[in-house]
Structure 1
Amino acid sequence: MSVPGVLTVQDRIALVEIELCSELMIAAAAAIEERLSQDRIDEVLMVGADPSISGPGRHEDRPER
């Protein structure tokens, strides 16, 4: 049984996944081409980015809920 207002590890992972999907949908909607290139997807998801930089999927700078 979960406690209302308390996020579990699974909840946090789900929220990050939702945020990443949202970022991809925004990028796809703004794209001129029909599909996002693999390079553009990597850019949106910050693949290979410096882990100290905040962005999608990086929740270190977000307040705890």
Structure 2
Amino acid sequence: MHVAPVGGTAVQDHVALAEIELCGELIIAASAADEDRLSLASIDEVLRVAEERGNGSPVR
């Protein structure tokens, strides 16, 4: 078993952190929704899909 050394040298995975943040935002939106499920439009809004398409960035 490998343990990160003491001293603050832990590596951060920025992609994983961004995905965790987006999941958290979806959970918050789902818990605040009046309906049983979020609509696809609501999910796109939370994930800022329209903003990505506006940038010319590919949407996955």
Q: Which runs of 5+ in 1 are unaligned?
A: 52-65
Count of residues in Structure 1 that have an aligned counterpart in Structure 2: 48
Determine which of 13, 16, 19 is the counterpart of 2:15: 13
* Structure number with higher helix proportion: 2
CA RMSD, 1 decimal: 2.0
Q: Which runs of 5+ in 2 are unaligned?
A: 56-60
TM-score with structure 1 length normalisation? 0.63
- The whole-number CA distance in structure 2 between the counterparts of 1:34 and 1:6 is 38
Q: Which amino acid aligns with 1:35?
A: R
Shift, 1:48, TM fit: 1.6
TM-score with structure 2 length normalisation? 0.68
- Residue 25 in 1 paired to residue 31 in 2? no
Instruction: Encode CA deviations 1:26-49: one digit per residue, 9 max, x unaligned.
Output: 000000000000000000011021
Higher relative contact order (CA 8 A, sep 6+): 1
Q: Percent identity?
A: 55
Runs of 4+ more than 6 Å apart: none
